[in-house]
Amino acid sequence: MNLGVSGSLALQAVSQQLPGAIAQKPSVVSVWLAVNDLNATIEPGSFAQALGQIIDSLVQQTSAAVFVGNVPDLRAVPVYASVDKGRLLAGIQAYNDAIRAIAARSPSRVTVVDLFTGSAALVSTATVSQDGFHPSDDGYRLIADRFASTMRAKGIPLGL
């Protein structure tokens, strides 16, 4: 079941998506919330607090294996063309450090899906939609492949 809400911030997901996710008693959960927060200039500490609440609640209140995506290297995404690339990279790294630290609190249950390493394919002109920001269908397919590969590597049986 997909409980994701387009444009959602981590803090919104705490009240709007997390209760429904827990109620489903899932065996596997995928979470990817960071980019909207980064764009909204949510401080990394505030983002980490909200994401931590989500991940910790899933660990404590479900038996699910939790897979959380980090932030790809967005510097080549067209919408960021006029943004200071050093500052953007620093923000991405701060968010990814927070995601890694949150996952490390429950290493047997929470796995980071690395969307940053080798992310050139995720942010090429072929994988970014015409709005210059969101992934195209091919981009979403690549992201889904990263999640699926990570899940399979952790022993989660997936169809196809």
pLDDT greater than 70 at residue 72: yes
Q: Which domains does the chain have, with CATH numbers?
A: 35-153 (3.40.50.1110)
Q: What pLDDT is recorded for position 145?
A: 92
Q: Which two tokens stand for residue 89?
A: 């990279």
Q: What pLDDT is recorded for position 125?
A: 65
**CA 82 to CA 78: how far, in whole Å?**
9
Mean pLDDT, the chain, integer? 90
Residue-wise pLDDT for 125-136, tens only, equals 666 777 767 777
Helix or strand run (H / E) with residue 134: none
Mean pLDDT of all residues in 4-16: 90
**CA 111 to CA 133: how far, in whole Å?**
26
**CA 76 to CA 100: how far, in whole Å?**
23
Residue-wise pLDDT for 47-57, tens only, equals 999 999 999 99
pLDDT greater than 90 at residue 107: yes
pTM for this entry = 0.91
Percent of the chain surpassing pLDDT 70: 94
pLDDT greater than 80 at residue 113: yes
